[in-house]
Amino acid sequence: MYVFPVLNGLWQGFLISILLFGPAFFKLVHTSIQDGFNKGVILASGVFLSDLLVAVLCILGVADFMQVPAFQKLYSLFAAIALILLGLKYFRHQYKAFLQSYSARVPPSKSLFKGFWLNLINPFTFILWFNVMASISKEYIGEPNYKLLLGVNLISILVVLFLMDVLKVFLSHLIGRKLNARIFFSINKYFGLLLMVMGGIFMARFFTLVF
C-alpha cells in the first residue's frame, strides 16, 4: 500500500538533490572540506530540519501566504542582504585571522544553526517545497488515507535529501583531507564570492518583483 509513495519519494528526493544548488549546498561542501565529516553531517542535519519546517508549513497552508508579492519582496531583500554580508565576511578574511578561526573548535550547535538558517533564508526553498507539496498532493487526492500517503511520500523525500547531503559531505571530506591551510584559505575566498553572487541574484529578484 505504501510502496508507491516510498518509491515516489525516492526518485523525487534524488532529483531535487541533484538540481538544488543554493547557499546551503555550498556551505555544506565548504564545511565538510574545512571542518571534517562530523561537522558536515551536523550542518546537513540543520538543512534537513529547515526543509522539514518549510514542508510542514506548506501542509498547514502557510505556503499561500508565502506566495503573497509583499512577502516575496521582503524575503528576497532579506536573503540578499544576509548573503552579501556573510560573503563579505569570508571574502575579506585575512590569512592570519583565517588561521585562528580555522584552528578554533566550532560548537556543533553553531553548525546545526548555520545549516538551518542558510537553507531557510533562500527564497527558492519555499518555492521548491510549495511546488513539491502541490505535485505530490495531486497524486493522492481522493485516496482514503490521503494524509498518511502524503506523509510517507514527504518523509521519503526528506530522508533521501539528507542521505544525499551526507554523501556530499563524505566526498567533500575526502577531498579536504588532501588540502593544506593555504588552499583552504583560497576556498574560503571563493566561498565568500559565491555567497555574494547569490546575494546579488536575490537582490536582482527583489528589484524584479518591485518594478
What's the Cα-to-Cα distance from 171 to each of 14, 53, 135, 165, 167, rounded to whole Å?
Answer: 17, 27, 31, 10, 6
CB 10 within 8 A of CB 156: yes
Residue 63: the pLDDT is: 64
pLDDT digits (tens, 9 = 90+) for 20-60: 777 888 888 888 887 888 999 999 999 999 999 988 888 78
Residues of the chain with pLDDT under 50: none
Burial class for 47, CB neighbours closer than 10 Å (0-12, 13-18, 19+): buried
Residue 102: the pLDDT is: 58
Burial class for 151, CB neighbours closer than 10 Å (0-12, 13-18, 19+): middle
pTM exceeds 0.85 for this model? no
Residue 99: the pLDDT is: 61
**Cell 566550532 belongs to which residue?**
106
Please list, residue by residue across 66-102, b when 16 or more beta carbons sit within 10 angstroms of its beta carbon and e when fewer do: beeeeebbebbbebbebbbebbeebbebeeeebeeee
* Sign of CA pseudo-dihedral 205, 131, 48, 41: negative
Burial class for 58, CB neighbours closer than 10 Å (0-12, 13-18, 19+): buried
The pair phi, psi for residue 2, each rounded to 5°, is: -100, 10
Residue 106: the pLDDT is: 65
Residue 72: the pLDDT is: 79
CB 87 within 8 A of CB 199: yes
Tell me the angle at which helices 123-140 and 69-91 cross, rounded to the nearest 10 degrees: 130
CA distance 126 to 208: 18
The pair phi, psi for residue 113, each rounded to 5°, is: -65, -40
CA distance 147 to 176: 43
Residue 160: the pLDDT is: 94
Residue 164: the pLDDT is: 94
The grid cell for 67 is 506566495
Residue 208: the pLDDT is: 86
What is the radius of gyration, based on Cα positions, of the chain? Answer: 18
Residue 182: the pLDDT is: 77
